[in-house]
Amino acid sequence: MKAMYAEIGDQVRFAKTVGETDIYMFSGITGDFSGNHVNEEFMRTSAFGARIAHGALMVGYMSTCSTMLIDRSLEKGIDSTPVSLGYDRVRFIAPVFIGDTITATYTIAEVEPERRRTRAKVEVTNQRGEVVAVAEHILKWVQRVEGAAKVAV
């Protein structure tokens, strides 16, 4: 077995049309009922002209990509438990509106076998190919140990 099946350039994509239900369910889960997301009349008079999706929802779609990459590695038989160490350099570059179809692209940019870590560049685009969000994601490929109670990352 290998610790991780990830190489520089490995890539996964996730695409989804952002619906009104996504916005309201995310609001309910997080408690973020900002007028930016749930008040059409308030946003109609803004520079955006309509409600926009939560930036954190875009990070959630980025997380979907990391899960897809992890699933691919698990299918190949890794001897580790991949866990997210977080997202760096997260930026929300353009608004995502209800009805936009976003595509999150997750690309392994760095592999650190000695630290059992990978870094990925994540880019989210809309249906017009405009970049709406970017980030860097760090995965730790934690070695499995029978009976282990706690692991330092």
Which tens digit of pLDDT belongs to each residue from 18-29? 999 999 999 999
Q: Which residue has the higher pLDDT, 1 or 120?
A: 120
CB neighbours of residue 79 within 10 Å: 11
Instruction: State the Cα–Cα distance between residues 146 and 130, nearest whole angstrom.
Output: 46
Q: Is the dihedral of CA 144, 11, 16, 133 positive or negative?
A: positive
The fold for domain 11-18+54-143 equals Thiol Ester Dehydrase; Chain A (3.10.129)
Residue 76: the pLDDT is 85
Which tens digit of pLDDT belongs to each residue from 62-76? 999 999 999 998 888
DSSP notation for 88-127: EEEEE-S--BTTPEEEEEEEEEEEETTTTEEEEEEEEE-T
Q: Which residue has the higher pLDDT, 26 or 143?
A: 26
User: So where are the chain's domains?
Assistant: 11-18+54-143
Residue 1 has pLDDT above 60, yes or no: no
Predicted TM-score (pTM) of the model is 0.90
Q: Give the 3-state secondary structure of residue 72.
A: helix
Mean per-residue pLDDT for 83-98? 98
